[in-house]
Chain A
């Protein structure tokens, strides 16, 4: 059952992730990567009959802006997981014979420093949009972005498993090492040390600033098609072997489990079973890393290590592209930047495809056939 091997990524394109693209609009960035991905796949725009984009853009308006008339469109609304989930939806639509070539595209040109958003930030008022849960949270001290929530998760992980600040810092050091070799990274050529991380200020103790992503501008796109069509195209096909992605809760405090347990306890076994591979066969991981703790907890829940063992694992393992178990080989979001429009989570897909195609240049992982991606 499932979609094992029925669809493949056949083209990809991204532009450098930067703090801002001052004179470029979101649609302008999207058009550039759309064109790049189509050319990379050896296709024409008219071939693309499916389009999946971010929740920040209406998918029909996006199609219109790109001059496309796809028979299948979707805007992904699963936040950071949108990029990875778009690949699952694309593979499903292709496997069902509904479409032939799906473009998945995510990105944003974030507002400039003169914008209302940033003025608001400078004034110190970054209240989240009112939702059904903010009534019960904001009066107790709103927190910037997701810093607070992942500070809560990290604190509990340190308590339960004795994970140390130095072990968390090693995640940043390894990823910034990778990012330093990635010309598309916002932190290109700027590696850091464990001390740099530990000396960066707390945003939400025990979470340091350097353990957190920086919101950035940029865009990324890939093309997905059927396995059969993929074999006729120029790039080595990157087959989608398995997918999974449960909805368990929206905000981490409303989980029924311990707060350090992520939905990956369900998604990874589902994907691995569909793929007919074991967690121990995985050669590298591209894992969502808005904060160190999330990537670490998810690697545990995927079965790469036992629950609670991720700290010692990082301490003893080189996870750079040169290492025994490479993680986030483009720098991940912590190293390469969190592209807006949920492009941050999509970079993990793009880098996985690039590695498997053997096009990662200096960062190329030697044994890069089987990669687990988490959005």
Chain B
């Protein structure tokens, strides 16, 4: 649900032409990850050339959104006041089933008691403003 009162930091793009497709994808409910057309490896974070083979030719490829919780920290002292009402919250390393790791939050989960390393997760798309939809993860209910 879009919220015009959203005061937390939004993604700050240093190279919008490089990362716009990712954020356009999240608005459509798609998680897109860079995938090298030459060496067929996924990589994260997006950059001009594939870090495995240094070829510039790669594509944004939709992934399953299934993941595991590699590790997490429960934040008690946020570095931005807009997160004050959220503590304690989970700042987490998410390992996608496709192999790459990214930072996110674990939501829809009891913090900290519901968190367990290696627990299965699935992506959720959190539309925080009209322009921005963030990628978060929740426990996978099998």
> Is the beta-carbon distance between A205 and B73 smaller than 8 angstroms?
yes
User: Does B42 have its Cβ within 8 Å of any Cβ on chain A?
Assistant: no
Interface size class of A (residues with CB under 8 A): 35 or more
Residue in chain B with minimal CB distance to A260? B71
Q: Which residues of A contact B86 (CB under 8 A)?
A: 141
Assembled-state Cα–Cα distance A152/B95 (Å): 13
User: Does B88 have its Cβ within 8 Å of any Cβ on chain A?
Assistant: yes
> Which of A131, A134, A138, A152 is in CB contact (< 8 Å) with B73?
A152
Q: Which residues of B contact A201 (CB under 8 A)?
A: 76-77
Find residues 104-138 in chain B having any chain A CB closer than 8 Å to their own CB: 104-105, 112, 117, 132, 134, 136
| Mask of B65-91 contacts with A, CB within 8 angstroms, 1/0 | 000001111111111110110101101
> How close is B104's CB to chain A, nearest CB, in angstroms?
5
User: Does A345 have its Cβ within 8 Å of any Cβ on chain B?
Assistant: no
Known A-B contacts A124-B79, A152-B93; the reply to A204 vs B73 at CB < 8 A is: yes
Known A-B contacts A141-B91, A259-B71; the reply to A125 vs B79 at CB < 8 A is: yes
> How close is A152's CB to chain B, nearest CB, in angstroms?
5
Find residues 142-176 in chain A having any chain B CB closer than 8 Å to their own CB: 142-144, 147-148, 151-156, 159
Residue in chain A with minimal CB distance to B100? A254
Known A-B contacts A127-B80, A133-B45, A207-B73; the reply to A159 vs B89 at CB < 8 A is: no
> Is the beta-carbon distance between A156 and B70 smaller than 8 angstroms?
yes
Inter-chain contact total with CB atoms closer than 8 Å: 129
> Which of B13, B15, B117 is in CB contact (< 8 Å) with A155?
B117
Residue in chain A with minimal CB distance to B47? A132
> How close is B85's CB to chain A, nearest CB, in angstroms?
12
Count chain A CB atoms within 10 A of each CB in B11, B71, B75 and give the residue with the most: B71
User: Does A118 have its Cβ within 8 Å of any Cβ on chain B?
Assistant: no
Residue in chain A with minimal CB distance to B13? A135
| Mask of A94-121 contacts with B, CB within 8 angstroms, 1/0 | 0000000000000000000000000000
Count chain A CB atoms within 10 A of each CB in B14, B112, B132 and give the residue with the most: B14
> How close is B67's CB to chain A, nearest CB, in angstroms?
14
Number of B residues with CB within 8 Å of any CB on chain A: 42
> Which of B77, B102, B117 is in CB contact (< 8 Å) with A144?
B77
> How close is A32's CB to chain B, nearest CB, in angstroms?
34
| Mask of B5-16 contacts with A, CB within 8 angstroms, 1/0 | 000111111110
> How close is B44's CB to chain A, nearest CB, in angstroms?
8
> How close is A256's CB to chain B, nearest CB, in angstroms?
10
Assembled-state Cα–Cα distance A131/B13 (Å): 9
> Is the beta-carbon distance between B12 and A132 smaller than 8 angstroms?
no
Count chain A CB atoms within 10 A of each CB in B10, B81, B83, B103 and give the residue with the most: B103
Count chain B CB atoms within 10 A of each CB in A133, A139, A204, A205 and give the residue with the most: A139
User: Does A77 have its Cβ within 8 Å of any Cβ on chain B?
Assistant: no
Assembled-state Cα–Cα distance A124/B83 (Å): 10
> How close is A87's CB to chain B, nearest CB, in angstroms?
30
User: Does A362 have its Cβ within 8 Å of any Cβ on chain B?
Assistant: no
A-B contact sample (16 more), CB < 8 A, given A135-B13, A148-B75:
A124-B79, A125-B79, A127-B80, A132-B14, A135-B45, A137-B103, A142-B78, A142-B79, A148-B73, A148-B91, A152-B73, A202-B77, A204-B74, A204-B76, A206-B73, A253-B93
Q: Which residues of A contact B (CB under 8 A)?
A: 123-127, 130-144, 147-148, 151-156, 159, 201-207, 253-254, 259
14 contacts between A and B (CB under 8 A): A124-B79, A127-B79, A127-B80, A133-B45, A140-B134, A141-B89, A141-B91, A142-B9, A143-B91, A148-B75, A154-B73, A205-B74, A253-B93, A254-B44
